[in-house]
């Protein structure tokens, strides 16, 4: 995989328990964790990524 520009989740505080996201020129979204962003990369289409975000936001809204 070419070098990606990783962006840290805005929901992340300090530490190593964060999610990083990178978009590629081939219209794919990569997700990984902070502890080792070169390992365990999950790849999704933009549609699947939007669905994941929508689901996570809905769960957060219903949590409290």
At residue 50, the pLDDT reads 94
In-domain check, residue 2: no
**Number of compact structural domains in the chain:** 1
Tokens describing residue 6: 């990783």
Which residues, other chains included, contact 13 with Cβ-Cβ below 8 Å and sequence gap of 6+? none
Instruction: Report the pLDDT value the prediction gives residue 7, as an integer from 0 to 100.
Output: 86
pLDDT at 44: 95
* pLDDT tens series, the chain, 64 aa: 457 788 888 777 776 678 889 998 889 999 988 777 677 789 999 999 999 989 988 877 676 5
* In a domain? residue 10: no
Q: Is residue 40 part of a domain?
A: yes
Does residue 33 form part of some domain?
yes
Domain carrying residue 44: 16-63
Query: Does a structural domain hold residue 29?
Result: yes
Q: Coil, strand or helix: which one is 13? A: coil
User: How confident is the model at residue 48, as a pLDDT?
Assistant: 96
- With CA atoms as reference, report the closest residue to 45 among 22, 26, 29: 29
Residue 4 lies in a domain: no
């Amino acid at each position: 995989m070419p070098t990606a520009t990783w962006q840290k989740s805005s929901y992340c505080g300090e530490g190593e328990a964060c999610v990083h996201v990178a978009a590629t020129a081939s219209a794919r979204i990569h997700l990984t964790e902070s502890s080792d962003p070169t390992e365990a990369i999950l790849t999704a289409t933009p549609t699947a990524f939007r669905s994941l975000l929508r689901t996570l936001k809905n769960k957060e809204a219903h949590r409290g």
